[in-house]
Structure formats: structure tokens, C-alpha cells
A = this chain, B = another copy of it.
Amino acid sequence: MLTKEELPECPVATTVQLIGSKWKLLIIRNLRERPWRFNELKKDLDGISQKVLTDSLRALEEDGIITRTVYAEVPPRVEYALSELGEAMRPILDSMAEFGYTYKSATKAAATGEKH
């Protein structure tokens, strides 16, 4: 986790520092459903590179937002899940989903309006 000194004063800026990137937000969106494996995430996140996915997962783990669990199987299974702290991000994703619906409705209404 980051130390208090490394975090901005503003709480929104703190959150932005932790998850203010397209891919981190989409990873957390997936993990709030259930734990995911690396290759599943890679397949689902259209256009993400191996490096960016690796770096994003490592940063989220270091910041205490996700956990990485290795299951002693052959081959070993590695799963990523939201930590307890990461679970506290759920309201952010919920409000983002709600805004997405609002925006889509507005877009649709604008398109219909233009036709008349």
C-alpha cells in the first residue's frame, strides 16, 4: 500500500491516483463479479497488452486493492480478486454503471430527436 505521504491531500485525487486509468477501472469492473485468472482477463479486455495487464495487476496488488492467490495445482492456478479494501470500490463502479445507462439513454434520445 502507498504511505500517507505518497497520497494527495484530496480524496478524489487519491482515488484517481489508484485507479485513474482505463484498464484498472475495467479490471475492477470484472473482479467485482468474481475472481478472475490472468488469461481470462487478457481475453476479456479487448486490446490490452500482456505488459499493461501485468503492470496494472501488480500496481493494484501493491496498492492493496486486489489479492493474488496461487493454487498449488498442476499447472498452478493464479487468481485475482478484490481485497477487502477493493470491495469498498463497489459504489464507484455502481455509480459509473448508472451514469453509463443515463448517458446511453441521453444519446438515444438525442438521436431520435434529430430524426423529427
- Residues of A bordering B, CB below 8 Å: 1-4, 7, 10-18, 20-22, 25-26, 29, 64, 85, 88-89, 91-104, 106-108, 110-111
Kindly identify which residue among B16, B88, B95 contacts A91, using a CB–CB cutoff of 8 Å.
Answer: B95
Kindly identify which residue among B1, B18, B26, B96 contacts A110, using a CB–CB cutoff of 8 Å.
Answer: B1
Tally of this chain's copies = 2
Given contacts A20-B21, A88-B99, A92-B96, contact A64 B15 (CB under 8 A): no
Q: How far is the CA of A14 from the CA of B63 in the complex (A)?
A: 25
Kindly identify which residue among B13, B21, B104 contacts A14, using a CB–CB cutoff of 8 Å.
Answer: B104
Q: What is the distance, in angstroms, from A29's C-beta to the closest C-beta of chain B?
A: 5
A–B complex contacts, Cβ < 8 Å, 5 sampled:
A11-B104, A12-B93, A14-B100, A17-B22, A92-B95
